[in-house]
Chain A
Amino acid sequence: EIVLTQSPGTLSLSPGEGATLSCRASQSVSSNSLAWYQQKPGQAPRLLIYGASSRATGIPDRFSGSGSGTDFTLTISRLEPEDFAVYSCHQYGSSPLWTFGQGTKVEIK
């Protein structure tokens, strides 16, 4: 099983600032099959990024994903008020057993 470790656990930032979230895998993620999700309290997760760097339909271009192998990054260029949420990475390369990271909370400073 691939273990995903996200850092930091919590990121305290102000609107307008940039955010960099990390997701590190215990072994290489096949075919860069890594996704990022956003989740707000009481809501289901929302797909932001798939294939490590492709934005899902309707996702603003301030969200970008990068990385390969074992190190992946989600970058939010300028935080909008609606971006304060929990972000989780997910690997789906080691079929059929998939895993999630523990999440990074982006909170208002």
Chain B
Amino acid sequence: EVQLVESGGGLVQPGGSLRLSCVASGFTVSDIYINWVRQAPGKGLEWVSVIHGGGDAYYADSVQGRFILSRDNSKNTVYLQMNSLRGEDTAVYYCARSSNFYDYAMDVWGLGTTVTVSS
């Protein structure tokens, strides 16, 4: 079964760090793009970052320099290292797959993991 499962969310103080994981099954993460998309409480979706099959990673301006994507092909897992967290980073974080099958739209999504930044 094709699926993505996120984990690693929790409560963290401002300025702290968290690492989110996105484990894929049913496909290989190095063959496609894996995105992170977040949704603040009561707000719309915000694209955060993407790692391409070749390993290149890109970030929204709002997280550039604070968030870092990495990938472990042996575990078929993508990680989002989040540093210098701020209140505005509070959100549900989803990982989602993009492939050329759907023109790089996001066709498979995880259930999300919640990050709360608060003192």
Contacts and interface: CB of A to CB of B under 8 A. Distances in A.
Contacts of A35: 102-103, 105-106
Classify chain A's interface size. Answer: 20 to 34
Interface residues of B, number: 26
A91 to B, nearest CB: 10
Interface stretch (B14-22, B23-31, B39-47, B70-78): B39-47
A100 B44 contact: yes
B44 A102 contact: yes
Nearest to A4: B44
B103 A51 contact: yes
Nearest to A36: B105
Given A54-B103, A100-B47, 15 more contacts: A1-B61, A33-B104, A37-B45, A44-B111, A45-B94, A45-B109, A46-B109, A47-B102, A47-B106, A47-B107, A90-B45, A96-B56, A97-B58, A100-B37, A102-B44
